[in-house]
């Protein structure tokens, strides 16, 4: 790429290193002469001066850094345009300027059309990425790495653009979007003060005060909030007027509408321009949450295919519990969302601490990844395999990220992973069971709670009762017999897995044999890896089921449940645990045989 003027060359300052050793058109090594150089810096190498006084320049980033007797060194990779012949050994290396970086990374876009997740790590400028490029989003990171915080930032960014948001909130964390953050200074950064928005129907730019899009003619208002009085409370966030929270009001009094009426509403009541619908499921059993998620996603998917609702984003945190490798009705509809939803405007934001436990298809369909710190080797490996533009060289980067730091890669960027420090939230970051009532004034709380009558006022008594009955059926507690049926199904699945493992073991034994074969550790076949992952998903579901079964036994039993039934249930659990032990033994054998076979095949090649 060509320099537009001598000012960029002069702005590069003193060289920070020089090329050494073998060079190619894409990768070089350098001796670092400036001790302030860090892993996240970008560098410039200039070509020969042209007749007009300008020079071509190329941007590079660090692949790896190390120190030896020669001093601090690094391997660099060229980004974007590359030279026609290898770089000249001994060439001086400079720190890239802001203008040079922006041309290669594509991070300076109009605020009204872009999302700002934070600043480029090691630099002081915002990373603004175009909304239209995000598609399906996958956010991962271990507990405490900043995954949920980033999901909250994304919610804010979409709401600033008027894009409808639906949040499946397992722990009651996202009601905090109603409360302004105390960390944000009165004078906010310019990127937060967006003065115009984007039509959620057609994606064209519209005025912030517009009620109708001048491009497609669609209404930009929602019946739920358009006539509601504006909240004046300074402690309320700028989004409080546009948030409706569905929850069990007996457990979470800060909500707006009792969740039992959720299925009395139309999809247009849940997804509408400038509306954020929070489905707060705190206090409900995991199996009830799973059913709610499945039925709601199915309802919204059908509405999106009929173009009844505008394009929207659905946030699903701890997604491995709803869409793990165990096939369920809910996992199938999440998979459908991931595969087909985008073409109809039904976009997913998936969050999980354990990417290895998530359904493979859903991982594969994710377009943009935001990766926070991961420590599990398998999780890191799965992430690198699934996320576009990440490679084995990024293993150390992922495990070395500090809290709040992340790597953005995939469709939203231009083929170059971006290291970012996630910006501060405009709203308060809530923990489990966050209660906005503790932060907002009584008047604000009253205004928020008036929404119940407005939302439900247009529904007939029959519609309300129908939705309520549907919800009560979902909540209906299981009996000991129900749990016995579930355990029986799990036992069948275990036998299926045993047959699969046994088949693999026999195939491996017949191909590899046992004599003269040494173990090749850490190099397992994909089939074995998938089996290992599947058992982890199964264990999490089984542990939950076993806990619920234990609670059922400890509860006072009705006269319909005899001592004989309880004894049979306990015996079934013992059988199940024995099956697990058998499975583990056969799995270990399979891994052993697979390792031997791979070692033998490697030697033959």
Q: Is residue 430 part of a domain?
A: yes
- Final residue in a domain of this structure, among 417, 443, 475: 475
Pairing of strands 196-198, 346-352: unpaired
Q: Residues 161, 287: one domain?
A: yes
Is 578 inside any structural domain?
yes
Average pLDDT over residues 531-544: 61
| Length of the chain as a residue count | 605
Q: Give the pLDDT score at 505.
A: 65
DSSP-assigned letters across all residues of 277-339:
EEEE-TTS-HHHHHHHHHHHHHHHHHHHHTT-S--EEEEESSGGGTSBSS--HHHHHHHHHHH
Distance CA 491, CA 494 (A): 5
**Closest to 145 (Cα-Cα) out of 352, 368, 378, 445:** 352
Dihedral of alpha carbons 452, 453, 458, 461, sign: positive
- At residue 523, the pLDDT reads 42
What are the C-alpha distances in Å from 197 to residues 5, 236, 269?
35, 21, 22
**pLDDT by residue (tens digit) across 22-67?**
999 999 999 999 999 988 899 999 988 887 878 889 999 998 899 9
Are 269 and 317 contained in the same domain?
yes
Query: Would the pLDDT of 296 be above 70?
Result: yes
pLDDT band at 581 (very low <50, low <70, confident <90, very high): low
CA angle 532, 407, 301 (to 5 degrees): 70
Same domain for 299 and 179: yes
* Predicted local distance difference test score (pLDDT) of residue 544: 61
* 105-119, 303-317, 385-399: which is most confident: 303-317
Q: Are residues 288 and 429 in the same domain?
A: yes
Hey, which bits of 356-494 come out as E strands? Answer: 368-371, 405-410, 418-422
Q: Check whether residue 465 and residue 486 sit in a common domain.
A: no
- Looking at residue 135, its pLDDT comes to 85
Looking at the fold, whether 66 and 162 belong to one and the same domain comes out as no
Q: What is the pLDDT of residues 92-129, one digit of tens each?
A: 999 998 888 888 888 888 888 899 999 999 888 899 99
Among residues 458, 475, 492, the one where a domain terminates is 475
The CATH number of the domain holding residue 267 is: 3.40.50.300
Instruction: Say if residue 372 is in the same domain as residue 401.
Output: yes
Residue 254 within any structural domain of the chain: yes
Please identify, among 433, 452, 475, the residue that sits at the C-terminal boundary of a domain. Answer: 475
pLDDT tier, 185 (very low <50, low <70, confident <90, very high otherwise): low
Report the DSSP pairing between strands 137-140 and 196-198: unpaired
- pLDDT tens digit string along 249-292? 888 888 889 999 999 999 999 999 989 999 999 989 888 899 99
Query: 505 and 468: one domain?
Result: no
Question: Which CATH number is 28's domain given?
Answer: 2.40.10.170
Domain-embedded: residue 359: yes
State the pLDDT confidence band at 195, using cuts at 50, 70 and 90.
Answer: very low
Domain count, the chain: 3
- With a CB cutoff of 8 Å and minimum separation 6, the contacts of 247 are 172, 254, 255, 257, 258, 259, 278, 279, 280, 281, 282
The mean pLDDT of 162-184, rounded to a whole number, is: 91
Task: Output the pLDDT for position 123.
Answer: 86
- Helix, coil or strand: residue 180: strand
518: pLDDT strictly greater than 80: no
Which pLDDT band holds residue 534 (cuts at 50, 70, 90)? low
Angle ∠(527,322,325) on CA atoms, nearest 5 = 10
Residue 191 has pLDDT above 50, yes or no: no
User: Quick one: 532 and 599 in the same domain?
Assistant: yes
Residue with the bigger pLDDT between 514 and 145: it is 145
Q: In the predicted model, what is the mean pLDDT of the chain?
A: 81
Judge if 363 and 247 occupy the same domain.
Answer: yes
**Does residue 452 sit in the same domain as residue 495?**
no
Q: Does 64 fall in a domain?
A: yes
pLDDT confidence of residue 457: 80
Q: Which of 257-271, 323-337, 498-512 has the highest mean pLDDT?
A: 257-271
Is there a domain that residue 245 lies in? Answer: yes
For residues 13-26, give the mean pLDDT.
93
Q: pLDDT value at position 526?
A: 56
Lookup: tokens for 556? 């006072």
Which pLDDT tens digit goes with each residue over 402-435? 999 999 999 999 788 999 999 999 999 987 777 8
pLDDT at site 438: 82
Which range has the worst mean pLDDT, 244-248, 293-297, 322-326, 539-543?
Answer: 539-543
Query: Does some domain include residue 283?
Result: yes
Q: Is 272 in the same domain as 408?
A: yes
Domain residues for the domain of 367 are: 135-185+197-475
Tell me if 402 sits within 8 A of 373, measured CB to CB: yes
Residues 596, 605: Cα–Cα separation, whole Å: 14
More confident residue, 562 or 469: 469
Residue 127 domain-assigned (yes or no): no
């Amino acid at each position: 790429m060509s320099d537009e003027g001598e000012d960029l060359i002069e702005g590069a300052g003193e060289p920070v290193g020089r090329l050494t050793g073998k060079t190619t058109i894409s990768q070089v090594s350098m001796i670092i002469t400036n001790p302030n150089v860090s892993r996240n810096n970008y560098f410039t190498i200039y070509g020969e001066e042209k007749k007009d006084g300008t020079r071509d320049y190329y941007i590079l980033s660090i692949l790896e850094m190390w120190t030896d007797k020669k001093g601090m060194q690094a391997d660099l990779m060229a980004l974007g345009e590359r030279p026609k012949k290898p770089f000249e050994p001994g060439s001086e290396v400079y720190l890239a300027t802001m203008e040079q970086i922006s041309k290669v990374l594509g991070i300076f876009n109009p605020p009204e059309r872009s999302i700002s997740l934070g600043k480029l790590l090691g630099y002081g400028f915002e990373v603004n990425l175009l909304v239209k490029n995000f598609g399906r989003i996958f956010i991962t990171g271990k507990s405490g790495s900043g995954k949920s915080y980033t999901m909250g930032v994304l919610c804010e960014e979409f709401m600033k653009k008027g894009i409808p948001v639906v949040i499946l909130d397992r722990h009651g964390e996202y009601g905090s979007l109603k409360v302004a953050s105390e960390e944000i200074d009165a004078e906010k950064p310019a990127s937060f003060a967006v003065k115009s928005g984007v039509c959620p129907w057609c994606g064209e730019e519209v005025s912030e005060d517009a009620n109708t899009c001048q491009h497609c003619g669609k209404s930009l208002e929602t019946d739920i909030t358009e006539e509601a009085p504006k909240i004046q409370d300074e402690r309320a966030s700028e989004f409080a007027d546009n948030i409706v929270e569905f929850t069990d009001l007996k457990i979470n009094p800060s909500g707006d509408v009792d969740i039992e009426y959720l299925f009395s509403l139309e999809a247009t009541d849940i997804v509408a321009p400038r509306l954020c619908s929070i489905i707060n499921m705190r206090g409900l059993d995991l199996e009830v949450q799973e059913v709610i998620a499945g039925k709601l996603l199915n309802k919204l998917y059908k509405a999106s295919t009929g173009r009844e609702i505008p394009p929207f984003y659905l946030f699903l945190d701890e997604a491995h519990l709803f869409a793990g490798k165990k096939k369920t009705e809910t996992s199938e509809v999440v998979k459908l969302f991931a595969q087909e939803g985008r073409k109809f405007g039904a976009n997913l934001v998936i969050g999980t601490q354990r990417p290895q436990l998530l359904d493979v298809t859903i991982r594969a369909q994710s377009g943009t990844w935001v990766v926070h710190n991961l420590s599990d080797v398998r999780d890191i490996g799965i992430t690198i395999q699934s996320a576009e533009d990440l490679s084995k060289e990024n293993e150390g980067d992922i495990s070395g990220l500090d809290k709040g730091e992340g790597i953005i890669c995939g469709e939203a960027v231009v083929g170059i992973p971006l290291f970012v420090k996630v910006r501060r939230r405009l709203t308060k970051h809530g923990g489990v069971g966050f209660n906005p009532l503790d932060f907002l004034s009584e008047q604000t709380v009253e205004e928020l709670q008036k929404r119940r009558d407005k939302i439900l006022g247009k529904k007939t008594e029959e519609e309300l009762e129908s939705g309520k009955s549907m919800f009560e059926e979902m909540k209906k507690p299981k009996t000991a017999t129900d749990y016995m049926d579930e355990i029986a199904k799990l036992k069948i699945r275990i036998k299926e897995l045993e047959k699969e493992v046994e088949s693999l073991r026999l195939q491996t034994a017949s191909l590899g044999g046992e004599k003269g074969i040494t173990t090749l550790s850490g190099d397992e076949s994909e089939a074995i890896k998938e089996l290992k992952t599947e058992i982890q998903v199964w264990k999490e579901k089984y542990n939950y089921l076993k806990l619920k079964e234990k609670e059922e036994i400890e509860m006072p039993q009705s006269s319909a449940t005899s001592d004989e039934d309880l004894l049979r249930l306990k015996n079934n659990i013992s059988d199940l645990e024995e099956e697990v032990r058998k499975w583990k033994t056969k799995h270990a054998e399979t891994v052993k045989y697979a390792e031997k076979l791979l070692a033998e095949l490697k030697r033959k090649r």
